[in-house]
Chains A and B, each alone.
Chain A
Amino acid sequence: MPKRTDIKKILIIGAGPIVIGQACEFDYSGTQACKALKEEGYEVVLLNSNPATIMTDPNFADRTYVEPVNPETLARIIEKERPDAVLPTLGGQTALNTAVAVAKKGVLDQFGVELIGAKLPAIEKAEDRTLFKQAMEKIGIEVPRSGLAHNYQEAMEIIEHVGFPAIIRPSFTLGGTGGGIAYNREEYEEMVMAGIDASPTDEVLVEESVIGWKEYELEVMRDLADNVVIICSIENLDPMGVHTGDSITVAPAQTLTDKEYQLLRDASIRIIREIGVETGGSNIQFGINPANGRMVVIEMNPRVSRSSALASKATGFPIAKIAAKLAVGYTLDEIPNDITRETFASFEPTIDYVVTKVPRFTFEKFPEANATLTTQMKSVGEVMAIGRTFKESLQKAMRSLEIGSAGFESRLFAGPEDERRGLSDDEWTLLRGKLQVPNWERLWYLGDALRAGMSIEEIHALCYIDPWFLNNIRQIIDMERDLRDKAPLVSRGGDAFRELLLQAKQYGFSDKRLAVLWGITEADVRQFRIKLAIHPVYKRVDTCAAEFEAYTPYLYSTYEQECEAAPSERRKIMILGGGPNRIGQGIEFDYCCVHGVFALGQDGFETIMVNCNPETVSTDYDTSDRLYFEPLTLEDVLEIVAVEKPEGVIVQFGGQTPLKLAVALEQAGVPIIGTSPDAIDRAEDRERFQALLHKLDLKQPENGTARSTEEAEKVAERIGYPVVVRPSYVLGGRAMEIVYTIEQLRRYMTRAVQASPEHPILIDKFLDEAIEVDVDALCDGNEVVIGGIMEHIEEAGIHSGDSACALPPYSLDEPLIEEIKRQTVALALELKVVGLMNIQFAIKDDVVYLLEVNPRASRTVPFVSKATGRPLAQIAARLMAGKTLQDLGVFGYEVPAHVSVKEAVFPFVKFPGVDTLLGPEMKSTGEVMGIDMDFAHAFAKAQLGANVRLPLKGTVFISVKDRDKKHILEPARKIAAAGFKIVATSGTASFLKEKGVAVDVINKVKDGRPHIVDAIKSHQIDLVFNTTFGPESVADSFSIRRTTLMYNVAYFTTVAGMRAAVDGIVAMQRESLDVKPLQEYYPAL
């Protein structure tokens, strides 16, 4: 069937901000969909609030709405744009839920809009637990025993026939929010009620536990002619019980016979047909009892999912792109396979390698969080690695994680000698616990279990991981022992050593790990490899196991005979990507990498991308000319450079990941282009940085460096409390704290110094109540252009990544702006920046202080680019490749007439027991942008985008620390005038009353009931303003913040945030929010 001509305009819904459970994979899928539909000549309208996405680049859609992704906004856009169809299956659960809400309200019918991809009944059948179960029963496919509970009574009845352990899954939540496993009645009661609370439909599924069963996923595609193909099978290393997003997973399925695999395939086909997903991709999860093969279906996502992105990268089959084309009527046999060119999309990829995905966690950011892995997703990112064996791909994935691991380091043993000792009773308890209770370090403890002599059977009995995986890990540990035993060969060299080294490399051992095992340096190992001519070869990912020739250079390394890299003779530039998403380094950096690729590609360079994050646009095979899906370590990058010999390598787009490699790469003779690694060092090294400031006569907050607690006390004494303390060389404010007293400082030093023994602690004067400003600038070494100046809404002290900010600044005077510009220019020129630079300033009492200079792409580059319409990263890439600002016609800094506000989005809801207070340590996972003609409206949109529902009427609760009282008077008066009722705790209340503001007193939690938490729970509070000072008050108000979070009440924990919120509310009361596409904000583009 050819494409449909009865539809012309299609609205695609994006996934909104990056949150746990919904990361850049939906930018990848959305971008593919936009491209595919534009290619087909459709007019594409896009809704997505996330400015860091490639899909929201104004040239990817005809009309790009960077507006909150919620039903109200979607309805408005539909009313305004009158699209013929809405495609809701490429923006994750958010897009699907938003589309469903709008459809149910009748908006689609009202405007004659068709849902394409999946129709409403199909979505409901897949998502609604009861309907899904009925559908499965109808086609004779087993599901785990279960029941739906809407209240306590029902929950108690269901557990009678389900039994313990029971799995609790709230309906319609993403990443399984609010779910868990209950092993006893007490846990059950608690979880069921929390789950009902978390579900938008007040519903939870209580399910028979299939914990420990083998877990599989199939990626299925269907077209309008009812052709169905399976793109990929995935087997989870972590058995049932751990969310698949948190599981180590492997493609293809490893331990099923063909007969068993075909049962899954047949079931998947019947399921997609019965559910009625018309076109596109779906993900179906199965559990299999390892004892007898009994198969149950767990769930189906009637849309493109995180696993689809993984499957696309794992096979080379672009699921999202094909899904978009199927949605407009094409059939699979009409769509060519880009990789082979001569075959079509109607086939099932077969692969001749093993893909391993390992999730990346950031529990160090949330020490209070329960780090046990359950059915609720907790990871923030993932890496994928490709190898010719599972052993190779697993070890490649481990070193891709960038958590300081180069392989199976021991958690229990100090070294090879130490392994011979017996473990103490405590260590055995710890080890058994680590194997039994799923946790992110389990992989490494598996290594120790084997080192300690546990048998595969014993280990399996504790962790239920399939013996196949365990035996493969055993082979790695056996090889490790062998490598150590044969260490004497290292100095002797010769054929025996070559054989040993080659075998180790084929098992995936990194040079770094080998160096540890042999007690030599990584550089030594590399020298040995060079001498013995042991280098990786590069094989192609081609969807067909080499049956057809691959035209797409999508490559991975392995240690075999034949290399298929076939590098060209073109002028080429390599861009190093950002690796796995984590807090502090996410999609923003991938955005920059992709833009670099676009610009250099346009300029005629061959672009080479190196990255290991399967969620991203950068790892799409048609983003760059050549894609190396490889770990971003020195070893792996050097090998690629040796094969490709690029004329330039860009390290400043991928965040800290490639930057960390810059010096070593340069020393190895790699041509780093852009700002020199030395300049980067000058900005990052404290002493060199101070010399730089001294030279330019710029101010920074008083500071000092300490290597011991005594030194720290002295420094703090000298510069005066409060001080900001942090370890040197950190990302995302890791372990950064504001310290007000000597006791706090001592406490910090004992913890932090332990955390990073090699690096000193940096101590800065904390500029209380200062305004923080972020600047992104471009420089070609001789000239500087300001990209954007952003004023933070939260005061200095809140990590810049967690702070909302506005562009242009909303409260700064012209002379201050001029001073900021002057300092920016001076710094850029002094550092001879070529490319991007980001500077953070703090302004206190009209004095500008320099906080930090980063001569590289920053987190705010995509936001600034979206806000101003100037593609900073593209310009930067061209500067690095040798162009000047003048060549590119980039001049001056035009302040936009509109206002853009960026707001951060936090994962607190996934981490029960974690405080939501902001501080110098970054905690947000993503961001949204609000854009409008004034600050208040833009701020309100940003809040809505971040799913903070600013109320238009009701009751506001205010409780602030003493120092803030004078500051809240004005916002309190304003919100009272806006018709809100104010309740406050005694201290705040008496202050406001004194100033003539009408206020009711409400109990603090410690004052006795009914107190503020009761009021929030009984929905009497619509807005919470709460600031705290000191550990005691923080502890007292903790339950307030958690409750507001769980009940989705808007809350603000800084005075600046409160002011902005009040302005936003007043503005919304005056004039409701309108929608406008980016293209109308800067029509010139």
Chain B
Amino acid sequence: MKAILALADGRVFHGRAFGASGEVTGEVVFNTSMTGYQEILTDPSYRGEIVAMTYPQIGNYGINLEDVESSRPFLAGFIVKEACEFPSNWRSRMSLDAYLKENGVVGIQGIDTRALVRHIRDKGAQTGIISSVDLDPARLVEKARQAPSIVGRDLVREVTCDQPYHWSEGPWRLGEGYLSAEQAPRYKVVAYDFGIKRNILRKLVASGCDVTVVPADTPAEKVLAMNPDGVFLSNGPGDPEPIVYAQENIRKILGKKPVFGICLGHQLLSLALGGKTYKLKFGHRGGNQPVQRGDDGRVEITAQNHGFAVDAASLQDDAIQTHTNLNDNTVEGLEHKLLPAFSVQYHPEASPGPHDAAYLFEKFTRMMDRAKAEEGKN
């Protein structure tokens, strides 16, 4: 069955439908990871986005029961050069196509994805539409133009949990699946769910945290009343600016409890501190982004997924830039000069992606150790 991808600026790609049939709009972005499509599909941060994979053959190892980052796919649409119909892997349970159909995700394959990527790189990320029901290019371009932009929208509300819940699943091990915590937790952590990836929770559990996940708009008072040892600010979709309620809550928590933020959490923390964020031309999405640490100059290869970034100059007074992207010198990590709070733009929990930055979870627990010691003294 035919399908069309049309961009708001008029560029049209003709391909074949796969996954669910239908029509979706979203911001068209690309991800350069060669592995990890299942994690990408289930990462709530992709809410509102149509994701194009740069690696041309996707679906080779199928879909399994383990490699999920949330309960279901959240992205708007999926673009690949060739979707594999005959997955091969000992953990595979179904094909990519079947999975997308089951979850109602509209996909398109058979287009020149490299041409698409170059277009986005040069012209910037923009709204697009995939359709297998309307094959009129002009009409589709018009629909793409009419579709809402990702800027200024609160997408967090669409992905956060309804109710607080407790998380106990730990790290994954080959052949054993996800393990539960090996020892009794030493830290009580409340994690704000702005669209949280499960591997962050698993990493927190593995680092000895007892984790309670709370909805994005949970008031700070309520969180502080739980008396956690630390508060975690999760990743999430879209533009951080309209998420004012989160910024306000963070401001109330800062200084009272150690805070660790990842991705959207990092941006929200920055905004809470009075910083500014801006939209990148086409964002960072992939598993090969080099990030340099300010303290020792070491480089870590990181997983990233963000379309907005923090303006370094806007935070000079309050925070130290701890991490920098080596490709474009954007801010990758901040630490408050006085308060126990730090954040990174990238994904130390990986999944998908390299594990180089896993040490940051230990940094969070050390911060909580120090805070506990302080509290003891007082």
Contacts and interface: CB of A to CB of B under 8 A. Distances in A.
Interface stretch (B57-65, B155-163, B267-275, B310-318): B57-65
A295 B174 contact: yes
A347 B290 contact: yes
Contacts of B91: 257, 293
A546 B118 contact: yes
Interface in B27-59: 30, 32-36, 38-39, 54-57
Query: From DSSP, what is the main secondary structure of chain B's interface residues?
Result: loop
Contact of A293 (B33, B56, B90, B328): B90
B289 interface: yes
A891 interface: no
B276 interface: no
B86 interface: yes
A976 B120 CA distance: 80
Interface stretch (B218-226, B235-243, B249-257, B346-354): B346-354
B84 interface: yes
Interface in B263-303: 286-290, 292, 297-299, 301
Interface residues of A, number: 58
Contacts of A293: 90-91, 174-175
B79 to A, nearest CB: 13
A561 B14 CA distance: 10
Interface in A559-597: 560-562, 564
B143 interface: no
A808 to B, nearest CB: 56
B89 A350 contact: no
Contacts of A545: 30, 32, 54-55, 114, 117, 286
Interface hub of A225, A226, A350, A389 (most chain B Cβ within 10 A): A350
Interface in A197-240: 225-227, 229
B67 interface: yes
Nearest to B352: A258
A85 to B, nearest CB: 24
B320 interface: no
A227 B292 CA distance: 10
Contacts of A254: 57, 60
Contact of B84 (A468, A544, A549, A560): A468
A478 to B, nearest CB: 12
A467 B84 CA distance: 12
Interface in B69-116: 81-82, 84-91, 111-115
Contact of B326 (A346, A349, A562): A346
Interface string B170-188: 0010110000000000000
Q: How extensive is the interface on chain B, given as a class?
A: 35 or more
A352 B287 CA distance: 14
A348 B61 contact: no
B351 A562 contact: no
B309 to A, nearest CB: 15
A261 interface: yes
B298 A388 contact: no
Nearest to A563: B115
A266 B288 CA distance: 14
A227 B64 contact: no
A261 B90 contact: no
B114 A546 contact: yes
Given A343-B326, A389-B56, A468-B60, A258 B39 contact: yes
Contacts of A294: 174-175
A353 interface: yes
Contact of B286 (A290, A292, A346, A547): A547
Given A252-B34, A256-B89, A466-B88, A561 B115 contact: yes
B139 interface: no
A433 B214 CA distance: 62
Contact of A468 (B56, B86, B90): B86
Nearest to A266: B355
B53 to A, nearest CB: 9
Contacts of A257: 35-36, 38, 61, 64, 67, 89, 91
Contacts of A304: none
Given A545-B32, A562-B112, A255 B57 contact: no
B179 to A, nearest CB: 14
A863 interface: no
Contact of A560 (B114, B117, B299): B114
A548 interface: yes
B121 interface: yes
B175 A258 contact: no
B288 A388 contact: no
Contact of A351 (B55, B64, B175, B355): B55
Contacts of A1004: none
B114 A259 contact: no
Nearest to A561: B112
A547 B299 contact: no
B36 A258 contact: yes
A408 interface: no
A386 B350 CA distance: 29
A346 B61 CA distance: 29
A349 B328 CA distance: 16
A347 B288 contact: yes
A390 B301 contact: no
A352 B321 CA distance: 33
B88 A468 contact: yes
B378 interface: no
B9 interface: no
Contact of B57 (A256, A295, A390, A564): A390
A333 B292 contact: yes
B288 A349 contact: yes
B61 A350 contact: no
Interface in A249-294: 252-263, 265-266, 290-294
B289 A255 contact: no
B90 A291 contact: yes
A547 B117 contact: yes
A549 B282 CA distance: 13
Given A259-B66, A266-B355, A548 B54 contact: no
Contact of B354 (A255, A259, A265): A265
Contact of B114 (A354, A390, A539): A539
Nearest to B292: A333
B172 A292 contact: no
Given A293-B175, A347-B288, A256 B326 contact: no
A353 B56 contact: yes
A372 interface: no
Interface in B332-378: 350-355
B71 to A, nearest CB: 18
A302 B353 CA distance: 25
Interface in B1-37: 13, 30, 32-36
A252 B350 CA distance: 19
Nearest to A564: B118
Nearest to A350: B32
9 contacts: A259-B172, A292-B90, A344-B290, A346-B326, A347-B290, A350-B33, A468-B88, A545-B114, A549-B121
The 9 lowest CB-CB distance pairs between A and B, nearest first, are A258-B36, A258-B352, A562-B115, A545-B54, A468-B88, A561-B112, A258-B35, A471-B86, A348-B288
Given A332-B299, A333-B290, A343-B327, 13 more contacts: A256-B35, A258-B36, A261-B35, A293-B91, A333-B292, A342-B328, A344-B326, A346-B299, A350-B288, A352-B56, A468-B88, A545-B30, A545-B55
Interface of A: 225-227, 229, 252-263, 265-266, 290-295, 331-333, 342-344, 346-354, 388-390, 456, 466-468, 471, 539, 544-549, 560-562, 564
Interface of B: 13, 30, 32-36, 38-39, 54-57, 60-61, 64, 66-67, 81-82, 84-91, 111-115, 117-118, 121, 172, 174-175, 286-290, 292, 297-299, 301, 326-328, 350-355
